[in-house]
Amino acid sequence: MQVPVLTIDGPSGAGKGTVSRLVAKKLGWNYLDSGSIYRSLAIALQETSVDLENSSEIVKVAQAMTLEFDCGDELIVKLNGEDITGQLGLESTGNIASRIAALPEVRQVLLKKQQDFRRPPGLVADGRDMGTVVFPDAENKVFLTASALKRAERRYKQLIEKEIDANLARIINEIEVRDRRDMEREASPLTMASDALYIDSSDMAITAVVEEVLNLIR
């Protein structure tokens, strides 16, 4: 029997991670944060100083890295045994991750690692192409989005709470630039699966979004 999968795709900052983890907990399913996989590779590349234009070297780093996900109250990600959770949310990490995610060779290497998370009793997969590329046969799919302003405000608040200097206007611009790059890239562009449920979380509480997703499963 095929292991059930729920995919939750959408742009950065739409709340996919929080919603996906809460839904996975309520269902008792496994959780995949595909964005962390690309962000982890971005961190690995920064540590090795590999040229981001050299796809063959990027592929070598991707093949060699090992990742562990500990999905408790907060997601903990370990790269080659080292906790890198604190670095995952940095804007510089996100920008590099978005760039390397546009490379077909890199996506192919990481595709198998993502699909290996499909284990009983089920999987909640969070990303940008989970329902269109990684798990196109998923029984349930969601496309979760929010306005660029709302996403920027959420990101700004997170950074300020962590006592990290932030500029709202710059964050808005970075989000808009990243959205365009993700939607226009040749390799697996950000797009909504034809059979996905569309949810705009701009004016919704997280609990309301979670309930709507659970209703889809039910």
Predicted confidence (pLDDT) per residue in 132-182, tens digit:
999 999 999 999 999 999 999 988 988 888 888 888 999 999 998 888 888
Question: How much is the pLDDT for 83?
Answer: 96
Question: What's the whole-number mean pLDDT along residues 71-83?
Answer: 85
Stretch 113-127: mean pLDDT: 92
Contact 96, 4 (CB under 8 A): no
pTM attached to this predicted model:
0.79
| Mean pLDDT score of the chain | 90
| CATH code for the part of the protein at 5-217 | 3.40.50.300
From the CB of residue 207, how many other CB atoms can be counted at a distance below 10 Å? 10
Provide the residue ranges of all domains of the chain, joining segments of one domain with +.
Answer: 5-217
Contact predicate 159/29, CB 8 Å: no
Considering Cα of 34, then 186, then 199, then 87, what sign does the dihedral take? positive
At residue 69, the pLDDT reads: 79
Q: For the ranges 92-106, 109-123, 177-191, which has the lowest average pLDDT?
A: 177-191
